[in-house]
Structure formats: C-alpha cells, structure tokens
Amino acid sequence: MSTASYVDTSVYSVTYVTEKLLFSIKEIIVKSGLSPAKMTSQWASLEQGISTWIASKHLRQVYLEIFDPVKQNLVCRWDLDIIYGYAGDGEFWADTEAIKYHIQKAGAIPAICEYRICLSNAPNAPSVDGWSTCTLYSTEGLSRYSVGTTIGTSGIGAGLAYWGK
C-alpha cells in the first residue's frame, strides 16, 4: 500500500507574490529618491487589492507611475506584469539585484516628482474597497526596457519593465 500527499501552494504563492510586488515597488520608490510615506500609508489597501485580484486571476499589471505634478507628465513608469501558469521549479524567489541594477540604469528622478500605483485588471474583477478607476499617463517620448522575470513561485510569476528616456 502506498500513500501520497499533496500540498496546494496557491495561497502561499498569492501571498508571496503580493509581498514581493509591494517590496519591489517600495524599493524602486526609495532607490529613486522618493519618499515611501504615501505608499506606506496605503499599504493595507494595496495588499488587499493585489492579493484579491491575484487570487481571482484578474490582476494583469501593476504600474508605478512617477510623474511631474506641475507639468502633469510621466517621467518614468515601472510595469510589473503578472504571469499566471509560471513554469518554475517549485521554488519561491525574487531577483532583487536585477531590480536594483535597473533602478540605477533608469537614472535619477527629479526631486519634484510624485508617484502613484495603478493596476490593470481583467473584466469582471471583484470590487475591493478603496480602489477606483484611473487613466494612465501617456508613455509618449519614453522607451520601454525589459528587466525580465523578477518574481517566481509555483504557478505565479511577475515580469518587470520600465519606461524611461
């Protein structure tokens, strides 16, 4: 007689990817010379929205938009693309060194800049308190640079790219 066991890691994967996404965004904010205070004050709402929509598989992208509040134009944008069905080796990992390298490569952000975190969901995503719709700033005049996959778990991953000059 043989015995087999099965562990469903999907809840762990959702939690891990949510945490790593948020820590990656915070790292980008801090290393870009911006204050993380705004993000920190919104942490619970960010965590609730991201984890809810990853669990329901509605979350497509997370955007960190860094913009000039006077000119109302985009200075830099970081895109985190959610990868469902990520075919990893079962390990949970995050490539923080790649993120740090590309923050330096993206260049300095003017001190006047502000930021916001926006999400893109698939149709019929469940509603989450504290979230509403928004329109992304135009990326006209900027180029997109791919960093690659920076977060991986059992079945879920995240790729990172940024828009800059």
Digit-coded pLDDT (tens) for 91-100:
899 999 999 9
Query: For residues 141 and 118, is the Cβ–Cβ distance under 8 A?
Result: no
> Does a structural domain hold residue 112?
yes
Q: What's the domain range around 107?
A: 10-124+138-164
State the Cα–Cα distance between residues 86 and 94, nearest whole angstrom.
14
Domain of residue 47, CATH code: 3.30.900.10
Q: What is the DSSP string of 54-110?
A: HHTT-EEEEEEEEEETTTTEEEEEEEEEEEEEE---S--EE-HHHHHHHHHHH----
> Does a structural domain hold residue 4?
no
pLDDT band (50, 70, 90) for residue 5: very low
Percent of the chain at pLDDT exceeding 70: 95
> Does a structural domain hold residue 54?
yes
Instruction: Provide mean pLDDT across the span 144-150.
Output: 96
> Does a structural domain hold residue 156?
yes
* pLDDT value at 63 more than 90: yes
- Number of structural domains found in the chain: 1
Instruction: Provide mean pLDDT across the span 52-56.
Output: 97
> Does a structural domain hold residue 2?
no
